[in-house]
């Protein structure tokens, strides 16, 4: 066997590796967190127990910094979130926990099927609550610095939860981002909304379903859930509908939507309730399903600020309650956009004068409004939907290759 000169030469004096240096800095940083936590009333012994053996979790940093190459299409997310298996399991869970769910519904005004839908979407009915140590994950994210202030506050709040005796450090498991328990509460959400539904003096959203359901119901109630009002419904639009009147920026009375010719998805008349307003959501563009959504839809979005998430929760709750699937035949094989495609789209919209805002690879309200203006100016259905066809149109417009 050949031995290289480098291998046979005397080893240079040992120097700290970057990882050791980072761990040393992490330890000093934890000392500062401990001082702040103690200043907020957490007992030193609690912090010491939580921080014993704590290290930076490289996997957490990797997941935080990872950006998927492709955006998910509506259908890819929706069909997975509201699969027939999840619907069947949700109905079984309602039957299994009916007395408990009925009690929480009476106390909070949130229907049993809605509570179960959140449970199903968040953790697949408790089957996937996350395998990360919450203290370690939050400490890693707070120290990493990208959203340091937010996660430092979450970390100290998690220490307060431990200090109050609701859970042990080892049992405080959750997602890589620190969301915890059956309903995936962040520590500050736990602090502000968790409830002792079992009456044992602890708020255990990890293993106690009475606590988890009561906490979810209390959270939704405090966010403004309106008892007796649904989240929305699938609808059918009249021929020649102006798709520019879609999106969460256009709220109108239900009577106005009915007068415009909007009906239930099965063609029946809308049930018009005095004082109720709704907005039209087109999650897959004008070729996909249409939904009129209510104020409770906005409450769901305050839990998770994504319309596709709110639609999934709403539709799953309908299916769990015994209602049928969406009405209509839709093209579910839509092509996703890369994040770089969305950035290019935003840049092209800006170049053409439609002010989509700084390119960030996310299709938010400003981008959708810019797309609508571009579509309307060219006589296209102004649904604000971003897809590869639209990107191609924008490229051709920027290159002066109109009309289409």
Quick one: average pLDDT of 207-223? Answer: 98
Q: Phi/psi at 243 (nearest 5 deg)?
A: -70, -10
Reference 243, options 258, 264, 265, 260; nearest CA is 260
Using a 10 angstrom Cβ sphere, with 0-12 exposed, 13-18 middle and 19 or more buried, the burial of residue 103 is middle
Strands (E), 213-369: 232-236, 251-253, 263-264, 277-281, 290-293
Give residue 308's pLDDT.
Answer: 95
Give residue 83's pLDDT.
Answer: 98
- Is the predicted pLDDT of residue 132 greater than 80, yes or no? yes
Quick one: average pLDDT of 141-146? Answer: 90
Instruction: Quickly state the pLDDT bin for 334 (edges 50, 70, 90).
Output: confident
- Measuring CA to CA, how many Å separate 369 from each of 153, 366, 392? 34, 5, 18
Instruction: Quickly state the pLDDT bin for 403 (edges 50, 70, 90).
Output: low
Quick one: average pLDDT of 124-150? Answer: 95
Instruction: Quickly state the pLDDT bin for 51 (edges 50, 70, 90).
Output: very high
User: What element of type H or E holds 174?
Assistant: strand 173-174
Considering the chain, what is the average pLDDT of its residues? Answer: 92
Longest dimension (CA), the chain: 88
DSSP string covering 68-97: -SBPPPHHHHHHHHT-HHHHHHHHHHHHHT
Give residue 273's pLDDT.
Answer: 79
- Is the predicted pLDDT of residue 321 greater than 70, yes or no? yes
* Alpha-carbon span 389 to 385, nearest angstrom: 10
* Alpha-carbon span 340 to 360, nearest angstrom: 9
Give residue 172's pLDDT.
Answer: 97
- Is the predicted pLDDT of residue 5 greater than 80, yes or no? no
Contact partners, residue 188, CB within 8 Å, separation at least 6? 153, 154, 157
Give the tens place of pLDDT for each residue, 6-35: 333 344 444 334 444 477 889 999 999 999
Give the tens place of pLDDT for each residue, 232-254: 999 999 999 999 999 999 999 99
| pLDDT greater at residue 20 or residue 66 | 66
- Is the predicted pLDDT of residue 200 greater than 80, yes or no? yes
- Is the predicted pLDDT of residue 191 greater than 80, yes or no? yes
* Alpha-carbon span 253 to 210, nearest angstrom: 37
312-340 core/surface letters (b: 16 or more CB in 10 A; e: else):
bbbbbbbbbbeeeebeeeeeeebebbebe
Quick one: average pLDDT of 183-190? Answer: 98
Give residue 11's pLDDT.
Answer: 41
Quick one: average pLDDT of 167-187? Answer: 97
User: What element of type H or E holds 133?
Assistant: strand 132-133
- Is the predicted pLDDT of residue 57 greater than 60, yes or no? yes
- Is the predicted pLDDT of residue 99 greater than 80, yes or no? yes
* Domains along the sequence of the chain with CATH: 25-65+129-192 (1.10.8.350), 232-320 (1.10.530.10), 339-398 (1.10.101)
| pLDDT greater at residue 24 or residue 128 | 128
In which order are the strands placed within the sheet that holds 290-293?
251-253, 277-281, 290-293, 232-236, 263-264
Quick one: average pLDDT of 387-391? Answer: 95
Give residue 101's pLDDT.
Answer: 98
Share of the chain above pLDDT 90, in %: 87
Contact 233, 311 (CB under 8 A): no
User: What element of type H or E holds 45?
Assistant: helix 44-51
Q: What angle do CA 32, 22, 171 make, to 5 degrees?
A: 65
Q: Phi/psi at 4 (nearest 5 deg)?
A: -75, 160
Give residue 72's pLDDT.
Answer: 83
Contact 184, 122 (CB under 8 A): yes
| pLDDT greater at residue 392 or residue 65 | 392
Share of the chain above pLDDT 70, in %: 94
Give residue 69's pLDDT.
Answer: 75
pTM > 0.85: yes or no: yes
Three-class DSSP category at 67: coil
Quick one: average pLDDT of 324-336? Answer: 92
């Amino acid at each position: 066997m050949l031995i290289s000169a480098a291998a046979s030469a005397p080893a240079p004096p040992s120097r700290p590796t970057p990882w050791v240096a980072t761990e040393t800095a992490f330890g000093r940083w934890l000392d500062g967190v401990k001082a702040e936590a103690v200043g907020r009333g957490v007992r030193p012994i609690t912090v010491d127990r939580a921080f014993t053996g704590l290290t930076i979790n490289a996997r957490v940093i990797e997941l935080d910094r990872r950006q998927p190459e492709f955006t998910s299409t509506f259908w890819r997310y929706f069909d997975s979130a509201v699969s027939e298996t999840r619907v069947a399991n949700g109905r079984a869970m309602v039957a299994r926990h009916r007395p408990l769910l009925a009690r929480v519904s009476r106390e909070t005004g949130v229907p049993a099927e809605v509570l179960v839908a959140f449970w199903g979407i968040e953790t697949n009915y408790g089957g996937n609550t996350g395998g990360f140590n919450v203290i370690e994950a939050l400490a890693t994210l707070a120290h990493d610095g990208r959203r340091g202030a937010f996660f430092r506050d979450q970390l100290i709040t998690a220490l307060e939860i431990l200090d109050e005796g609701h859970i042990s450090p080892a049992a405080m498991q959750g997602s890589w981002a620190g969301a915890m328990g059956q309903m995936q509460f962040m520590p500050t959400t736990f602090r502000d909304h968790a409830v002792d539904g079992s009456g044992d003096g602890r708020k255990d959203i990890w293993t106690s379903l009475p606590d988890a359901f009561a906490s979810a119901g209390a959270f939704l109630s405090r966010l403004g859930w309106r008892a007796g009002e649904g989240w929305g419904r699938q609808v059918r639009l009249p021929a020649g509908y102006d798709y520019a009147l879609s999106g969460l920026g256009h709220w109108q009375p239900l009577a106005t939507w009915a007068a415009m010719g909007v009906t239930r998805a099965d063609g029946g008349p809308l049930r018009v309730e005095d004082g109720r307003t709704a907005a039209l959501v087109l999650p897959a563009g004008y070729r996909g399903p249409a939904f009129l959504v209510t104020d409770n839809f906005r409450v769901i979005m305050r839990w998770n600020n994504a319309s596709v998430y709110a639609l999934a929760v709403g539709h799953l709750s309908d299916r769990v309650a015994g209602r049928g699937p969406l009405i209509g035949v839709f093209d579910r094989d839509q092509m996703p956009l890369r994040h770089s495609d969305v950035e290019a789209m935003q840049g092209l919209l800006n170049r053409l004068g439609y002010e989509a805002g700084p390119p960030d690879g996310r299709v938010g309200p400003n981008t959708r409004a810019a797309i609508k203006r571009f579509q309307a100016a060219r006589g296209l259905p102004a649904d604000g939907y971003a897809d590869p066809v639209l990107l191609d149109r924008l490229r051709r417009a920027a290159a002066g290759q109109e009309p289409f």
